[in-house]
Structure 1
Amino acid sequence: MSDDLLHRIDCTISRATESGALQPIRTEQTLIRDAGIDFTVRWVSSLAHKDAARVSAATRRIPAFNPFLPPEPELAIGPLGERHLAVLNKFPVIERHLLIITRAFEEQTAPLTHADFLALASVMNVLGGLGFYNGGTEAGASQRHKHLQWIPQAGESAALSAFTDRLPANLPAGAVATHPDLPWQHCFVRLALEDARDTGQFGELLCDSFRRACRAVGIDHGLNPMPPYNLLASREWLTVIPRRCERHEHISINALGFAGSLFVRQPAQIDTVRNIGPLQLLTAVAHRR
């Protein structure tokens, strides 16, 4: 199953790159350490392409243009259950960056459902990696159509381990924890992998852990629309961060910032991040503890 999914992803990347549907990635990056935590800060040229595409979409005859309904055929990987599709991110920040979109339109601010987590689990249960969600514009979402995202675990990828390595190693499965050195409101939940032997069980585990984390940070997980938040999940941990705003000092922050990976649209903004400090930058767009 994992080989088949990975093969389909790579075949789609190859075809989409050849046709021009997939935008090339050019990055310039640096490592910034803040309070002993390493952050990777990248200038990604594809973000500039993304801004241009959004301006183009806004000036079309139909202002509410939705690139996911339907997605570009060259970017579509295939179904993930009955309600979702796997699609390549046209403007990827990391290689093999996937979008997990609902087949029918749902708002990005709508509550995440069991079906959403089952679709995410169908990728993560076979490929691992990091799943994440930007719950609304203030949380870094650039499209209204509901979509989770996934990136593989690799040396250049974002990872929750930058933060979870400092949590107590003996926390039992299902335990809720906060990181003592993180100044923003958040919650980590330790996942009980022994209770997730297949995709269905892993989806249940992600859904239950998400709801537990929401309760811990004071978010009603069934509210529609939900308040802005970010979600990140690995095979070991899940975290939820309530959001206050989308950017600080012209630097936009999405969920990956809370996994130690920051993206800027201009190389000079790397110095802005260094001067502010990554922890203070993230605190400015979240809620201080």
Structure 2
Amino acid sequence: MSSSTSIPRDLPSLIAKQYDSALSSGSAFFYPSDVHSIKDQEGEDGPSMQWTVRRCEALREKAKEKKRKEEAKSGRDEPATQKGGQNPSDVFAPPYDKDLLIAELGDHTLLLNKFALIPHHFLLVTRDFQPQTMPPSPDTLRLAFEILSSVSRSLSTEILCFYNCGPVSGASQAHCHLQFVNLESGGGVLVEQLLGRIQKDGKEMETVHALPLPYQHFVHLLPPGLSSRSADDITSCLSDALMKLLDAMFSAQAAAISHDDGASAQPAPARRGARSWNLLLTGKAMHLIPRDKEDFPLGEEGPQNEEVGHLSLNALCFAGHLVTKSNEEVERIKSHPGGVRNILSQVGRRPVSDFTVATPNSDAREG
């Protein structure tokens, strides 16, 4: 199949058409959810902040079905192909499920998310295998931003692109993939409420800022009108922003180690293994959040307690949107001491000082 690197002009319509077709054929699944709004009050750990929690009861059945399939296929070979012609060993490598395929863009492919909690959730994947433990390449990052800008402009609403990098980032597949969702129904990219706290000194676009949160959340603002610039300019701007964000992460880790008194060291597995972090990309900014754990225990998980378990947290959560499988989990989040910010701080890394510019009201702490 021939492919082009040009983004389809009618991409939102193409996504919607393919999404409806995939649902009808049973190649994709939509899990309805209801959205709860939670507000953390202003305190020592940061300003007042709005969050959303999606409750999706079907996630319990999805987890059970996944376990049944894993048990069923244990000890036997995988079929050469799956439904729709999908590659069984790597779902993001060719051949693709034709019902999930949106467009082929040269070295990249646009696919629908097979299991969607948000309608029209889609992915940008590399055609050849590239590991999800590495940053996206400059070309992949540029293409992601161009897609983000194109869809946002067509729909007159902001779209979020996110990337889960590393073993405890919440990534579900080893093959490089960036995800796109429309969060308008949940209030948008809620964490960007805090961008207004960044001081405007004429150089705010040139540096990394630390948002006033009880965990490391770095942000690099993007210049207005970036999407109208040349491909080379976009690539250069985004690559430079990502390198600065990664440098902030490494500098923060070095500062934490040098100041660590041994009383509260970070978990050893995350320190020794591949680094994990979440990336958020919008038309306004690029965000990077270092990770040390993948999930947070709301309660003991097991056959005797299906209502409450471990809360899996990926990049979407740091944008302001959490997902649960029961009312009980929603209530536990609401009643958790310190609120959502505290939950996220348990899986992120503590703020450190003396390596980046902090936004006003950010209570920097040595690690």
Q: Which TM-score applies when normalising by structure 2? A: 0.71
**Amino acid of the structure 1 residue aligned with 2:277:** Y
Once the 2 structures are TM-superposed, how far is the Cα of residue 156 of structure 1 from its aligned partner? Answer: 2.3
- The answer for the alignment partner of 1:208 in structure 2 is 240
- The answer for the alignment partner of 1:236 in structure 2 is 284
**Amino acid of the structure 2 residue aligned with 1:74:** D
- The answer for the alignment partner of 1:136 in structure 2 is 166
CA spacing shift, 1:79–1:57, aligned 2, 3 Å: farther
Quick one: which of 311, 322, 327 aligns to 1:262?
322
Quick one: which of 40, 53, 56 aligns to 1:44?
56
Once the 2 structures are TM-superposed, how far is the Cα of residue 210 of structure 1 from its aligned partner? Answer: 1.2
Q: Is the 8 A contact 2:32 2:117 kept in 1?
A: no
- Confirm or deny that 1:101 pairs with 2:125: yes
Q: Is the 8 A contact 1:23 1:46 kept in 2?
A: no
Once the 2 structures are TM-superposed, how far is the Cα of residue 194 of structure 1 from its aligned partner? Answer: 4.0
CA spacing shift, 1:195–1:93, aligned 2, 3 Å: same
- Confirm or deny that 1:273 pairs with 2:305: no
CA spacing shift, 1:264–1:187, aligned 2, 3 Å: same
Once the 2 structures are TM-superposed, how far is the Cα of residue 115 of structure 1 from its aligned partner? Answer: 2.1
Once the 2 structures are TM-superposed, how far is the Cα of residue 158 of structure 1 from its aligned partner? Answer: 4.4
Aligned-partner Cα distance in 2 for 1:46–1:68: 24
Once the 2 structures are TM-superposed, how far is the Cα of residue 211 of structure 1 from its aligned partner? Answer: 1.3
Once the 2 structures are TM-superposed, how far is the Cα of residue 75 of structure 1 from its aligned partner? Answer: 0.9
Aligned-partner Cα distance in 1 for 2:165–2:65: 21
Once the 2 structures are TM-superposed, how far is the Cα of residue 87 of structure 1 from its aligned partner? Answer: 0.7
CA spacing shift, 1:157–1:14, aligned 2, 3 Å: farther
CA RMSD of aligned residues (A): 2.5
- Confirm or deny that 1:173 pairs with 2:197: no
Q: Which structure: larger Rg?
A: 2
Q: Is the 8 A contact 2:198 2:204 kept in 1?
A: no
CA spacing shift, 1:92–1:209, aligned 2, 3 Å: same
What per-residue deviation string (whole Å, max 9, x for no partner) do you get for residues 150-193 of structure 1? 1125232640423323333556323321122x010121101123
1:263 counterpart SS class: strand
1:205 counterpart SS class: helix
Q: Is the 8 A contact 2:104 2:110 kept in 1?
A: yes
Aligned-partner Cα distance in 1 for 2:324–2:167: 17
- The answer for the alignment partner of 2:194 in structure 1 is 163
**Amino acid of the structure 2 residue aligned with 1:257:** C
CA spacing shift, 1:198–1:75, aligned 2, 3 Å: farther
1:213 counterpart SS class: helix
What per-residue deviation string (whole Å, max 9, x for no partner) do you get for residues 14-59 of structure 1? 1111111121221122111013111100112454455346432575
CA spacing shift, 1:214–1:96, aligned 2, 3 Å: same
**Amino acid of the structure 1 residue aligned with 2:234:** F
2:34 counterpart SS class: strand
Once the 2 structures are TM-superposed, how far is the Cα of residue 9 of structure 1 from its aligned partner? Answer: 0.4
Count matched residues.
Answer: 283
Q: Percent identity?
A: 27
Aligned-partner Cα distance in 2 for 1:157–1:12: 25
CA spacing shift, 1:103–1:227, aligned 2, 3 Å: same
Q: Is the 8 A contact 1:186 1:217 kept in 2?
A: no
Once the 2 structures are TM-superposed, how far is the Cα of residue 197 of structure 1 from its aligned partner? Answer: 2.0
Quick one: which of 218, 230, 249 aligns to 1:187?
218
1:11 counterpart SS class: helix
Q: Is the 8 A contact 2:35 2:186 kept in 1?
A: no
CA spacing shift, 1:206–1:157, aligned 2, 3 Å: farther
- The answer for the alignment partner of 1:283 in structure 2 is 345
Aligned-partner Cα distance in 1 for 2:287–2:316: 12
1:110 counterpart SS class: coil
CA spacing shift, 1:83–1:284, aligned 2, 3 Å: same
Structure 1, unaligned stretches of length 5 or more?
A: none
Q: Is the 8 A contact 2:216 2:289 kept in 1?
A: yes
1:274 counterpart SS class: helix
